[in-house]
Amino acid sequence: MNSPESKFIALSRHGELDNPKNIVYNRDSAMKPEDIIHISETGIVQMKELGKLLKKRFTVTRIYTSPQTRAIESSEELSKTLGGVKIIVDE
C-alpha cells in the first residue's frame, strides 16, 4: 500500500472502441456526429477491471480526461467503479 505522503499518477488510454465502420477516428470536433466513436461493451469491462485493480492498490482522488467521447465514456466507467471519483475534463 502507499503511504499518506506518496503520490502516484496512473495513465490509461480509453477502452476498446465500437467501430463497425472501421473509421479512422479523430477529434470529435473533426468528425460528423454520427461517426463519433464510442467505447464497446468490452471497453466498458476493461475500464471496470482497471478500476478494480486501481482500487486495490491506490486511493484515486481525480480522473483527468480529454474531451473526446471515447475518453469521457471510459472515465465515467472508471469513476463508477472507483465510487464516483471526480472527473476533470481537460479541454
Mean pLDDT in runs of 10 for the chain (91 residues)? 73 92 88 92 97 95 95 97 96 78
- pTM, full prediction: 0.87
As a whole number of angstroms, the distance between CA 47 and CA 39 comes to 10
